[in-house]
Amino acid sequence: MQSVDRALAILDILAVRGEAGVTEIAAELDVHKSTAFRLIGALEQRRLVEQVAERGKYRLGFGIVRLAGATTARLDLPRESHPVCARLASELDETVNVAVMDSGQATNITQVYGTAAVTTRNWLGQRTPLHATSSGKVLLAWAGEDDLTSAMDTLERYTPATITSRSKLLSELDMIRERGWSSTNEELEIGLNAIAAPIRGGSGDVIAAVSVSGPAYRLTVESFTAVAEKLCVGAAEISSRVGYFGE
């Protein structure tokens, strides 16, 4: 516990001073320089601190930003995703939504209509099943074991195309992780198709999904790959806006 306390104290010192050397940090902590150096090394491995080139001093690293992003990303999502969703809705001429995992379902928190939308149905705030929606499948593909197990227990059928087989759903989730996007072909409602891509927070975890949905006669299965490419670009932009800096 003492080492943890001292490591956190180093972060506080650098937050206040901006930069500090090992000697300064050791003096501030009232420890030997070797102890301070060891603690700094551990923080540096986690990218929580970084050395200022050729100056022998240290400052806070980008790992701090990633941790902060993990906390604030969900709060920032509606604001940061809206302009990207507006652009995608304009480019794709369909309805674009952002959804997050919410007690075993996907809840839409942002929505922008395309001009070609044939309906003004409002998905905002609506909770939708994970296994029967493109956003839900994305969230499931990168979900924790508990959420995945819970979802597998409630594979309700909504249309003849809804996936209700556990093995088939697991196979599709594997494919989603491999190619980086999901789709539904009239699986929630007859005549409604959708595609979704993952949004990552500062920690790199998938925190949401951005989707485009439209009538099956316009958002055809043949168009999925081309639309998904644009959607993935948008998802990456939203991810960067909420603190994800890539691998």
* pLDDT tens readout for residues 58-102: 888 877 766 665 555 555 788 889 999 999 999 999 999 999 998
Q: Which residue, among 183, 232, 190, 196, has the nearest Cα to 98 in the 3D structure? A: 196
Q: Which of 8-17, 114-123, 193-202 has the highest mean pLDDT?
A: 193-202
User: So what's the pLDDT on residue 37?
Assistant: 87
Look at the domain 2-60 and name its fold.
Arc Repressor Mutant, subunit A (1.10.10)
Q: List helix spans (H) across 30-133.
A: 33-45, 62-92
pLDDT band with cut points at 50, 70 and 90 for residue 208: very high
Task: Check whether 246 has a pLDDT greater than 80.
Answer: no
- Residues 184 and 168: their CA atoms lie apart, in Å, by 14
CA distances from 246 to 44, 52, 62, 228, 238 (A): 18, 22, 12, 19, 12
- 48-59 confidence digits (pLDDT tens): 888 886 667 888
**Which single residue is written with the structure tokens 């989603």?**
176
User: So what's the pLDDT on residue 112?
Assistant: 92
User: So what's the pLDDT on residue 18?
Assistant: 85
Cβ-in-10-Å burial (0-12, 13-18, 19+) of 159 comes to middle
The percentage of residues in the chain with a pLDDT greater than 70, rounded to a whole number, is: 91
Mean per-residue pLDDT, 214-219 = 94
**Which single residue is written with the structure tokens 């491995």?**
45
CA distances from 237 to 31, 44, 199 (A): 44, 28, 9
SS3 97: strand
Task: Check whether 29 has a pLDDT greater than 60.
Answer: yes
Enter the pTM of the model: 0.70
- 131-190 confidence digits (pLDDT tens): 999 999 999 999 988 888 888 888 999 999 999 999 999 999 999 999 999 999 999 999
SS3 11: helix
- Residues 107 and 209: their CA atoms lie apart, in Å, by 10
Cβ-in-10-Å burial (0-12, 13-18, 19+) of 132 comes to buried
User: So what's the pLDDT on residue 202?
Assistant: 81
Q: Which CATH superfamily is domain 71-241 in?
A: GAF domain (3.30.450.40)
Cβ-in-10-Å burial (0-12, 13-18, 19+) of 43 comes to buried
Write down the domain spans for the chain: 2-60, 71-241
